Structure formats: structure tokens, C-alpha cells
Structure 1
Amino acid sequence: MSKPSIYDRYLPALSAEPSDTPAYWFVFRSNTGQLLLSDRAGLDAVPSAQHAETLGFTPVRSLFLGLLDGAPCYAAEAPDDAEPPEGFAFHSLRPLYDRMDEDLFHVAGRALQMLNWDDTHRFCGRCAAPLAPAGHEHAKVCPQCGLRHYPRISPAVITAILKDGKILLAHSARFPNKMHGLIAGFLEAGETLEDCVRRETMEEIGLTLGKIRYFDSQPWPFPNSLMIGFVAEYESGEITVDGEEIAEANWFGPDELPNIPPRGSIARRMIDWYAEQYGSRPE
């Protein structure tokens, strides 16, 4: 499946070269994680300035990200009380799928993840000494004990389970508006991705799976996940929800889908793919 890649527009780098070109600033307010944007479309919505101070605040921290459409780009954390400049507002990142280009959204997600990592890795977890940038890679090194600290990425699987032309959709008590999604969960130590798919499915709904195949992946910066999608065939068992992660689950045909996740998420992309393969596309 073809989808936008951040690397069509974005070139990562560790340090900035001297430049008179205004930079793009992915500015997040530190207490809410909200992103500063104008009401323009695409990259024009991202603030552009030589320095963050031009936007009316002194950043708590800033990190060079690389080049975006040929211009320098930075992640910056604004103070809790920072006020947006005229024509801009702070927005929660999660709902911005429908507003931002997908690749631009993922660059913004990268910025948020790197700021979170920089904030939570100021001291060594082994000896508590202050950490220093590694220099030649995105990492921090402890000058006292030598331990390296890399940005955390938490892999998680998400699975479309199919049986007799129907898809299994599940509702969690934390989902609003009776929304139904796919079975998902985080990888545990020692597991393969396929092991994780089978374990999460058995734990949450009591089913045994047959053939499993890779579908797609999506970075998910809330706070540092990588969602890895699979399509799996039902093999045996009756749906038995765990009552903790899953409140209810059932099989649905392509023309009888309940409320499902919003467009842009990998869950919605997988459900849309199912509906295209087996019937009409959901609205």
C-alpha cells in the first residue's frame, strides 16, 4: 500500500549548517503538548522564523530536526504560559489528521517525540549523572559510566481478524461514542511480532489465529509508539472478552460497520481496506 513518506520532503540531520533561510518551527506547549499552527493549509500553517524568540517566547528547549522542503526545521517547547502570536493557535496534535498532510503530521510527531525524549533523558538511569549529546547519532551518553540512551520507541501490533468475509471489531470502555476498533497491544520482551498478535488476541478475546500477514505500519507519537498492522485469519474459538481491555466484540460485515476510528489512523486504513475488499467503502 502506497502512502506518503516523510523522507520525500524531510531530510534528518544532527546539526544545523549556517543559513539565512527562515526555519520551520514545530512548537509544542509544554504543559499540554499542543502544536502551534495558523489556519493556513499544509506547511504554510507551521510558523517560519529565524529564531524561536521571534514568535514571542524563549523556548524551554529546542532541537534541530533537519531540513523540510529544503529549509531548516526545529522542534521547540514553549513555556506553559506562552501565548500564540497573532494568527496562530495551539492545537492538540491527535485530531489534526484531517487538517495536516500525513507526512507533515508524522514530522510533527517526530518533533513531539524528540522533545519528550530530551525532557525525560536529562540524567543517566544507571548513575544519575547529567547526560550529554552523543554527537554523531540521535543519542545521549553518560560521561560518568558511558551508558548510551536512545530515543524510546514502543512497538505495538494492531490486527484485522477476518472470518467468513467478516471482520472482528471490538469496543473498549475508554472509546467514546461506542467506537469499535481492532485488537492491539504492545510487544513484550522476547516476543516476535506474530507472537504478540496471537497473545493479544487470545488474552483480549479468546480466539486462536491461523495465517498472519503484514499489512502496514504507522508511527504514533502518543507518546512514542510504532503501530505495526497485520491481517490474520480466524482459526478457532468463541469470542470471550477479557472485560478489562475489551468490553465487547463481534463480527461485522462490510455493510454493517459500527462507529469506527477516524481517517488517518492505521486502524481506519485497515478497516477501509477490508471494506474495499469485501464490500462497499465506509463513509
Structure 2
Amino acid sequence: MNKPYQRPAADEPAWWFIVAGGEIILERGESLPPHGILNQIPMPDLSDYKVVYLGELRERNCYLILADYGDTQFAELGEFGNVREILLQGDEELFAVAARAKQFTEFLLTHRFCGRCGTRMQAVDWELAMHCHSCQHRCYPRISPCIIVAIRKGNQVLLARGKRHPEGLFSVLAGFVESGETLEQTLAREVMEEAGVEIKNIEYISSQSWPFPHSLMIGFIAEWEAGEIHLDPFELEEGDWFPIDALPRVPPQGTIAYKLIDSLKRKIEQETTGED
């Protein structure tokens, strides 16, 4: 097993995930992280930076480099941008590593001091963890589970626009799992709180790492059972039942929200045509 703080070799071809201020370096015109042999690309001296081994992607090692906000030492490699741009390229494997890089960065920056006694913490060299040698408290990267669900009523799907959504963009409902809850309990509570309806026939579809800053989206589809829509005015601007073949603007391909809507659409189409 590779140690998290192993240093890359000078002649090593690798993926370089350079993160600062919540953004990641993307090659100009490609929206992809830099890739290449360390001593053949315009990279500064990495001895001045914290470097973390992330794993492998397509038989190449992947490294996180923690840069300073506004750092210009990597300017020849590309420009800082939003990690969502990688997702829009349709490369889910690459996005997964980029998500890991962003979440590791968040963890390292927010765990420099012990939350129990306040002592400066030290990195564990054989696993990604921070350890307090004063009170022996150890922390690992935080993951916040979050349900996301596409709900159907006949040939319609429930979509809503959150307060932080761009104008005209509608999506499915989502919410964080609270302490002590099962996923099924979270689904029932969040749907009732946000839309005022009850659901049934819950079906798990897939999950997706969502590093904003450290969520794990767990995706489902479900059917409406009872209730009229009553939106939570603190969370949602507007929402309604939309015909599956006449949807408004929804999240782009590559997002789990798109995958859930598409799964529901295909399920309805199969029922309509009688296909298995």
C-alpha cells in the first residue's frame, strides 16, 4: 500500500491535482488536470508544497498538491477553475479522483489543530489521518451522506428550484442524513419537509462523491403516495410536477441528478411501450 505522503519521482508520469482556495488547476481549453512527467512539465519545486498520494488512474499515479490561494507558480500548467468542469467532460473516473483531492484538501486545512484540546496536529505517515500527540485524538477525512431522490407521479416527475440554483434550473430533492437516521428515514423526512408529500416503492440507483465540500450523494427513485405539494419556503423558490417528456432545464449529464431523472424517464418509457 502506498503511503499518503510519498514523493513523486522526477521521471514519473502522473496526474497532478493542484488545489487552492477550493479550485483546481485545469489545462487551458481542456478542463482537465495536468498530466505528464514531473521533470518535463513546467512544475515548481515541490519541496515547498504538501504533496499527497491519491491513488492510481489508468495505470498512472495521482498526486494532490496543496497550493496557496493566488499562487502563480503553476500558471504555465493552466488556470484555477471549478472541479465541476471535470464532471461536465463526462469522465466520471477522473472526477472521482478530483473529488478526493478536493476533499483531502478540505480535511488537511481544517484539521491543523485538535478539536479536543487545541494542540497542533501531526499528519500520520501511513494513512490519511491527523493525530494529536497530546490527547491522542485522531481524525480522518469527513464524509457527509446526503440522499437525493427523483419522485414520479404517473408520467410526471417532481422538480424544484432551490434558492441557490441558477434561474430556470430545476432539480430533484436532496438533503443531508441526520445523526441516528437510516437512509429510508431521511428520504421520508426530507421529502415531507421540502415538498409535503409521502413516497413509496423506493429504489436505490447509484451514488456519487460530491466534494462541496465533502458530501456523498446517495441516489434513489421513488413513487408519490399521498399529499399535495407544499414547498419549504426557506429552501425552495418554486417546484411542481413536470411531464417526463416536457422537462424544464435540469442538471447536466454527468451529475447524479441527471442520472436519476434519466432512470425515471427510461422506467416510464419501458412501462409505456411494454418493454422489459
TM-score normalised per structure 1: 0.85
Structure 2 partner of 1:243 = 233
User: Paired residues, what number?
Assistant: 267
Q: In terms of mean alpha carbon deviation, does 200-209 or 92-101 score higher?
A: 92-101
Counterpart CA distance in 2 for 1:231 and 1:144 is 47
Ranges in structure 1 where 5+ consecutive residues have no aligned partner = 1-10
Q: In terms of mean alpha carbon deviation, does 271-280 or 136-145 score higher?
A: 271-280
Counterpart CA distance in 1 for 2:70 and 2:162 is 35
Counterpart CA distance in 2 for 1:152 and 1:224 is 7
Q: Which residue of the other structure, out of 69, 82, 86, is the alignment partner of 1:96? A: 86
Counterpart CA distance in 1 for 2:109 and 2:103 is 10
For residue 275 of structure 1, report the CA deviation from its aligned partner.
1.9
Structure 2 partner of 1:118 = 108
Counterpart CA distance in 2 for 1:169 and 1:203 is 15
Whether 2:245 is the aligned partner of 1:255: answer yes
Q: In terms of mean alpha carbon deviation, does 88-97 or 222-231 score higher?
A: 88-97
For residue 79 of structure 1, report the CA deviation from its aligned partner.
2.1
Structure 1 partner of 2:273 = none
Structure 2 partner of 1:77 = 66
Aligned CA RMSD, in angstroms, stands at 2.6
For residue 142 of structure 1, report the CA deviation from its aligned partner.
1.2
Structure 1 partner of 2:17 = 26
Counterpart CA distance in 1 for 2:42 and 2:172 is 44
SS in 1 for 2:170: coil
- What are the superposed Cα offsets for residues 211-265 of structure 1, whole Å, 9 maximum, x if unpaired? 2221110000110000001111211111111111122221112211111111111
* 1:258–1:194 CA distance, 2 compared to 1 (3 A): same
Whether 2:178 is the aligned partner of 1:188: answer yes
Structure 2 partner of 1:199 = 189
- What are the superposed Cα offsets for residues 66-114 of structure 1, whole Å, 9 maximum, x if unpaired? 3333333210122223224436222221233222611101101111110
Q: 1:58-73, aligned counterparts within 5 Å?
A: 60-73=49-62
Percent of residue pairs identical: 39
Q: Which residue of the other structure, out of 187, 202, 216, is the alignment partner of 2:206? A: 216
Structure 1 partner of 2:161 = 171
* 1:81–1:241 CA distance, 2 compared to 1 (3 A): closer
SS in 1 for 2:163: coil
SS in 2 for 1:48: strand
